[in-house]
Structure 1
């Protein structure tokens, strides 16, 4: 099986680094599936989205990512996020409360709502085994 080195880093910490066979991320241009040998690419991540990493060993990782960039070379993927949370670290009840409190009548409230939705989607995807 072909592999590539993947590193997921947020401003406050490195979340994951290792060998993977596939990465799925949503950029401002659309969803991008990345396999070893991918054409070199630099892309801006969607303001709030879910990233999936399929490690060579172990279960897929699901991550809620908020802003940042994706850098791809044929043998390496770097995900540089402003903020990111592994799905198994997400407090679902807290995310639901944040969603209920979010007032989408202004730009800041709409962004808070989107972040809460992405956190819940990441947690649900991980629970479903995707």
Structure 2
């Protein structure tokens, strides 16, 4: 029985990751799901949040927003609209994006603009949380 599975994370711009890992947890649109080696095949749409994987007993974090995860044959393929390793996240940029989104939410705007601002706020908050989790896990330096 396999002890690892292949994790691949791809965005429209690049192949972010391709590694053998022990476990993967990702934010599905219906909630977080976890995958161990020899998991049954399935497909899930991704929400916004932190994907993490375990390798050599340590947790590594990746911010993802939108896309799909496909599980099958000891492989997790993530096709994400946006994905960033925790160490790539610019905290100052995320904080500024959060402030802009909060300001837009307070303004009188139409439904579409409100929804975009709310999505921007969620992405900024999840980016900051992803970076913080990686720092706490010791897999990301500040």
TM-score, with length taken from structure 2: 0.84
Greater share of residues in helix = 2
Number of equivalences: 128
Structure 1 runs of 4+ with >6 Å offset: none
Q: 2:105 aligns to what SS in structure 1?
A: coil
Structure 1 residues 108 and 9 mapped into 2: Cα distance closer, same or farther (>3 Å)?
Answer: same
Q: Which runs of 5+ in 2 are unaligned?
A: 107-113
Instruction: Measure how far apart 1:34 and its partner are.
Output: 0.5
**Pairing partner for 1:119 from 121, 127, 130:** 127
Distance 1:58 1:36 in 2: 15
- What is the correspondence of 1:7-18 to structure 2 with a 5 Å cutoff? 7-18=8-19
Higher CA-based Rg:
2
Going by fraction, where is strand more abundant, 1 or 2?
1
Per-residue deviation at 1:104? Answer: 2.9
1: CA distance, partners of 2:44 / 2:72: 12
Distance 2:73 2:25 in 1: 15
Residue deviations 1:49-108 (CA, integer Å, cap 9, x gap)? 1100112x4843211101000000141110110011110001111111110111235011
Whether the 8 Å CA contact 1:104–1:113 is kept in 2: the answer is: no
Structure 1 unpaired stretches of 5+: none
Aligned-residue Cα RMSD (Å) equals: 1.6
With normalisation by structure 1, the TM-score equals: 0.92
Residue 39 in 1 paired to residue 47 in 2? no
